[in-house]
Amino acid sequence: MANYTTQVNTIHKKFTSALKKAKTRQTINKAYSAHRKDHERLLKSHLAEEMRQIKKAKAKLD
């Protein structure tokens, strides 16, 4: 997995760019919706990876 912070920055750059280009409220809402989905997807995978690391560390202790 790539660096979490780098991925968040990429998501924010894409969102900021979309906001600057937006001409209507609907476009802004779509940009936010896509931004939110990207964040949720990234967070879910990030937390899953951390949980795998925790389980691996616990297994070493047993």
Kindly write down the DSSP assignment for every residue of 17-52, as one continuous string.
HHHHH--SHHHHHHHHHHHHHHHHHHHHHHHHHHHH
The count of residues in the chain is: 62
**How sure is the predictor about 62, in pLDDT bands with cuts at 50, 70 and 90?**
confident
User: Could you read off the pLDDT of 4-57 as tens digits, one per residue?
Assistant: 899 999 999 999 999 999 999 999 999 999 999 999 999 999 999 999 999 999
> In angstroms, how far is CA 42 from the centroid of its own chain?
3
